[in-house]
Amino acid sequence: MHHVYILYSPLVDRYFVGSETNLEKSVKRHNSGKNRHTKTGIPWNLVHREEFESREDAREKERRIKASKDREELIGFIKKR
């Protein structure tokens, strides 16, 4: 299974969108400080996730979410789920 996920850091008030096959491992990696993009926002909380059968579908959904660039649209997307 492939996942698209959204993390939120209350420390820096930012969201991070990603895709991964092992969601639990990915969230742990973000909270360990090993990812340079999320290092300053620890702790990160998982606020949204979706499952996809194929990696391509998950990546496409990740790209669509990241393309919005609008914080309100992202928050609206999270609340819909």
Q: What is the pTM of this model?
A: 0.90
User: Which of 59, 60, 65, 7 shows the shortest CA–CA distance to 31?
Assistant: 7
- What's the pLDDT score for residue 81? 59
Given pLDDT bands bounded at 50, 70 and 90, which one contains residue 8?
Answer: very high
What's the count of helices (H) and strands (E) in the chain, helices before strands?
3, 3
- Per-residue pLDDT tens digits for 24-59: 999 999 999 988 999 999 999 999 999 999 999 999
d(CA 44, CA 35): 12
- What's the pLDDT score for residue 77? 75
Which CATH architecture is the domain 2-80 placed in? Answer: 3-Layer(aba) Sandwich (3.40)
